[in-house]
């Protein structure tokens, strides 16, 4: 549901909302009031999560891939999520502000119904033909039930149908994002492998040659130590190393020195060639590491967004039922941890 719950709240209620969020909504008077702190905290956490989706990421080694169609599609998939999360945040501040306001129950109910009618309905009408799972006629039914409610909490209960639709739509949007991010990561990975495939093949060949040369050196040393079979193995596996050794008889110390010098010089040449390719293979490794970081951070941000969406839906239901509970998880703690590690991802 990318269309609903996205229009800015009324100015007077926005002022109340700001004060409410700053105080945490923890202090209330009257036996019939409930502590809406969990709902407020989850709302603040969700607004913080929205900022994570807005946080730009740094493409360094993979900069040339950031405009690939699959990456662009992933970015575009974030747009309706932003709208939904922003709308949910605005709706939530309206609810908290109204609940904590000195208005009468009837006035609170009327304001909630008017908010949905004046701000949510137009957005539903504008987006009804795309990906919205809640129709304007359904909203009219919700508003009717809200206006007939006796208490503000029961009015929130009537609004739960809209909340459930928003959560369902959000989950669908996140599912779509997950699939697109996976496809984008696969395409970028393929481009990297195509570019560095020949280099990796050369590196692999040089590494194999280096290992074989070390093995030849070990065989030569074993023969020097008295293992006659080592020379047989060396003749069978490394013709170049024994090219200067006399066939059919035991080589002299000078002959062995000549073979040793050849093996050492060859190993040195292999290492030199390998070292010359190291800067390029380092870029490959950094590119793959950056891709993995982008992918994992994208997954984490989507997971965090989905989690806060679920918490919001549950908190709204609990609030409507008059239940005061602590948040199921420390949303703000998770958000601070994410910020501290530096959120990155395929998301823009």
Sorted by where each begins, the domain ranges of the chain are 11-193+294-341, 197-284
Length of the chain, in residues: 348
pLDDT in tens, 129-143: 445 567 778 888 999
> Across the chain, how many H-helices and E-strands are there?
10, 0
Which DSSP state fits 63?
G
Distance CA 82, CA 151 (A): 32
Higher pLDDT, 110 or 20: 110
Q: What is the pTM of this model?
A: 0.73
Distance CA 88, CA 257 (A): 80
- Asked if the model's pLDDT at residue 68 lies above 50, the reply is yes
Percent of the chain with pLDDT over 90: 48
Q: Write down the pLDDT at residue 152.
A: 92
- Asked if the model's pLDDT at residue 331 lies above 70, the reply is no
pLDDT in tens, 290-314: 999 899 888 888 888 888 788 888 8
Long-range contacts of the stretch 267-274 (C-beta < 8 A, 24+): 267/210, 267/213, 267/214, 267/217, 270/206, 270/209, 270/210, 270/213, 271/210, 273/206, 274/203, 274/206, 274/207, 274/210
Higher pLDDT, 147 or 94: 147
Distance CA 332, CA 253 (A): 75
Selection from 49, 19, 238 nearest residue 230 by Cα: 238
Tokens, residue 37: 């702190």
- Asked if the model's pLDDT at residue 338 lies above 80, the reply is no
pLDDT in tens, 162-186: 999 889 888 999 999 999 999 999 9
Is residue 293 within 8 A of residue 341, CB to CB? The reply is: no
Residue with tokens 């039914």: 141
- Asked if the model's pLDDT at residue 156 lies above 80, the reply is yes
198 alpha carbon, distance to own chain's centre: 31
What is the average per-residue pLDDT within 274-290? 95
């Amino acid at each position: 549901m990318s269309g609903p719950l996205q229009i800015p709240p009324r100015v007077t209620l926005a002022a109340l909302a700001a004060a409410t969020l700053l105080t945490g909504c923890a202090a209330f008077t009257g036996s019939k009031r409930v502590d809406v702190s969990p709902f407020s905290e989850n709302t603040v956490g969700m607004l913080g999560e929205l900022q994570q989706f807005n946080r730009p990421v740094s493409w360094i080694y993979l900069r040339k891939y950031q405009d690939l169609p699959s990456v662009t599609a992933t970015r575009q998939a974030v747009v309706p999520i932003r709208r939904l999360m922003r709308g949910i945040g605005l709706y939530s501040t309206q609810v908290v502000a109204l609940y904590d306001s000195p208005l009468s129950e009837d006035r609170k109910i009327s304001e909630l119904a008017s908010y949905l009618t004046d701000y949510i309905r137009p957005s539903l009408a504008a987006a009804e033909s795309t990906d919205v799972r809640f129709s304007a006629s359904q909203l009219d039914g919700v508003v009717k039930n809200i206006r007939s409610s006796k208490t503000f909490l029961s009015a929130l209960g009537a609004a739960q149908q809209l909340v459930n639709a928003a959560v369902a739509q959000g989950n669908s949007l996140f599912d779509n994002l997950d699939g697109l991010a996976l496809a984008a990561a696969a395409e970028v990975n393929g481009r990297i492998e195509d570019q560095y495939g020949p280099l990796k093949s050369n590196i692999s060949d040089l590494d194999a040659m280096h290992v074989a040369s070390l093995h030849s050196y070990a065989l030569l040393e074993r023969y020097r130590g008295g293992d006659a079979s080592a020379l047989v193995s060396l003749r069978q596996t490394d013709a170049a190393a024994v090219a200067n050794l006399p066939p059919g008889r035991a080589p002299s110390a000078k002959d062995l020195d000549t073979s040793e010098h050849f093996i050492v010089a060859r190993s040195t040449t292999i290492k030199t060639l390998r070292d010359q390719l190291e800067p390029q293979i380092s870029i490959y490794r950094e590119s793959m590491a950056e891709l993995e970081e982008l992918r994992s951070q994208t997954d984490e941000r989507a997971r965090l967004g989905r989690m806060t969406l679920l918490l919001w839906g549950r908190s709204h239901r609990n609030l409507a039922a008059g239940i005061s509970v602590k948040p199921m998880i420390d949303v703000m703690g998770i958000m601070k941890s994410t910020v501290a590690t530096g959120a990155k991802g395929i998301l823009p």
